[in-house]
Amino acid sequence: MAARDSGGRPARGLGRSTAIFAVWTGVSRVAGLVREIAAAAIFGTSGAISAFVVAFNVPNLLRSLVADSALSAAFVPVFTQLEEEGRKREAQRLAGALIGLITMVLGAVTLLAIVLAPWIMPLFAPGLDEGLVDETVHLARIMFPIVVLLGLTGLVAALLQAAGEFGATAFAPVLWNVAIIVGLVAVTPLVPDDDRITVYAAAIVVGTAIQLLYLLPGLRGKGPFPISLGRGNRHVRKVLVLMLPVTLGLGLINVNLTIDTVFATLVGEAAPRAIDAAFRLYLLPQGMFSVAIATVLFPTISRLAARQDVDGMRATLAQGLRQIIFMLMPASAFLLVLAEPTVRLVFQRGEFDATSTDLTATALVFFAIGLAFNGASLLVIRAFFSLQMPWLPTKVAAFGVVLNTALNAAFYQPLGTGGIPLATSLSSAVTLGMLLYLLERELGGLHRAWVADGAMRSLVASGISALLAWSSWRVLDDALGRSLGAQVVAMGVALAAAAGAYLAAAQAFGMGELRALARLRRPLQ
């Protein structure tokens, strides 16, 4: 008989899902990076792009509070529990009721936000001049419809993932990025300079709609999902009750990003975009590895929790934590030592000049400090949601917001642009420690020594890889100069040297995570 994971699925099937999700998520992050490169070349780091960053953060914050991840995290445990108990029709009625509620409630929220934008948006841009604040209002009104669109997309994606289908949900963001890239590259040259930022905002909405339309056919054969408003449906009430703390728990993480942007406007006009550009680079390894692992493991952990299989949860979570640390630690080390050449290679062209590179690299260094902490938190938070105990991570997240705000206030003047991501990294480290302590208490342990052993081995191996990466880049940078081709060669060799050194060190240290990497090399059949 084929080996099975603790969730009852074939182990290689779970590995295959992780691999597919990681591959498409990686492609999506690369496409997102291309999008950011195009935007950087067209808009630089000051002027209208600062208004865009603020304008996008507000509907994105609304989305995180009332849609997408928060809804999915509350819905999946209830939906999978109903399926595990053989109550498929009740699960379908729950999904249909949420479709109706999302459309009505988030549609109303979107309309209200559009009407109130002239009063709401200035609160998020205290350091911008009056002209940029007006531009912020205009752009936010264009982008507010993504709230309802992403709410529906989040529910459809949750239904597909609960059925074990991860490929389409990981590919959909690729389409989102491609639509925006087409808008930036093909449409902006055709319009006056003052209207180009409007094209960017409109492309965001179009890409979001395409993403939803792409996922909808995947629901065929899984329904019917009778549309209603869920009146009298106790399972809907259960999801909504769960969603309140989940909304706060996941949404407060995004509140931190919005608070960061508010403080960034006080640092200088270029700071919001420089920090945003650094954040996009920071998200590349985050999305490829930690998001993929946490997303794929979430339904499995939810099923284990529904079966009260505590041993299985402990083992699955510990393995997931080690894998996240194994993948993110070397990425963090690489960005710490080569932040400036990374930013220069990726962004420095067109309106994005050397000054923009310096600001963005400074932010990236401080973001890199917290990369592994934040990545591990994504999995730990979902463990609490699987246990249907969302208030604990919510309280930790609320503390994290307060801590992040205090650190922002303390750091933004003496440290400038770098102080804001440093506050984020430090608050991520503190909140992860609190989350792990609380989860260990609930599960009666979490194989702490095994996870810590893996983290220490990864840290030492990452130090070796970073040293070799910096040395390789330094030699080639001095020898070849700073032309685009020379930078590609120097950074390519540095990246290859870092990867080779890390894998060799991991092999020498006998790290079991290498076996998971070897499995990912097999054909995805």
The whole-angstrom separation of Cα 204 and Cα 175 is: 11
Q: Is residue 1 part of a domain?
A: no
Q: How many domains does the chain have?
A: 1
CA distances from 104 to 97, 149, 226, 239, 387 (A): 11, 12, 15, 17, 29
For position 4, what pLDDT does the model report?
40
Q: Which of 465, 492, 468 is nearest to 480 (CA)?
A: 492
Q: Is residue 22 part of a domain?
A: yes
Q: Which of 276, 259, 270 is nearest to 128 (CA)?
A: 270
| HSE (side-chain half, CA atoms, 13 Å) at 484 | 4
For position 375, what pLDDT does the model report?
85
Quick one: three-class SS letters along 45-111? CCCHHHHHHHHHHHHHHHHHHHCCHHHHHHHHHHHHHHHHCCCHHHHHHHHHHHHHHHHHHHHHHHH
Q: Which of 28, 25, 2, 5 is nearest to 15 (CA)?
A: 5
Q: Residue 211's Cα: distance from chain center in Å?
A: 17
| Side chain identity at residue 166, one-letter code | F
> Would you call 166 helix, strand, or coil by DSSP?
coil
The whole-angstrom separation of Cα 411 and Cα 406 is: 9
Q: Is residue 215 part of a domain?
A: yes
pTM > 0.95: yes or no: no
> Would you call 184 helix, strand, or coil by DSSP?
helix
Per-residue pLDDT of the chain (525 residues; tens, 9 = 90+): 333 444 444 344 455 555 666 677 778 778 888 898 999 889 988 888 989 988 998 888 777 666 556 666 677 778 877 877 778 888 888 888 888 888 898 899 899 999 999 999 998 888 888 889 999 999 999 999 998 998 888 888 888 877 777 777 878 889 999 999 999 999 999 998 888 999 999 999 999 999 999 998 888 877 678 787 777 777 777 777 777 766 665 556 667 778 888 899 899 888 888 998 898 888 788 766 776 677 777 777 878 887 888 888 888 888 888 888 998 999 999 999 999 999 999 999 888 889 999 999 999 999 999 989 988 888 888 888 788 777 788 888 889 889 999 999 999 999 999 999 999 999 999 999 999 999 888 888 888 888 899 889 999 999 999 999 999 999 999 999 889 899 999 999 999 999 999 999 988 988 877 776 555 444 333
**DSSP characters over 453-485:** HHHHHHHHHHHHHHHHHHHHHHHHHHHH-SSHH
Q: Is residue 521 part of a domain?
A: no
Range of the domain at 89: 12-515
The whole-angstrom separation of Cα 135 and Cα 362 is: 27
Q: Is residue 3 part of a domain?
A: no
Q: Is residue 523 part of a domain?
A: no
Q: Is residue 185 part of a domain?
A: yes
Q: Is residue 520 part of a domain?
A: no
Q: Dmax over Cα atoms in the chain, in whole Å? A: 72
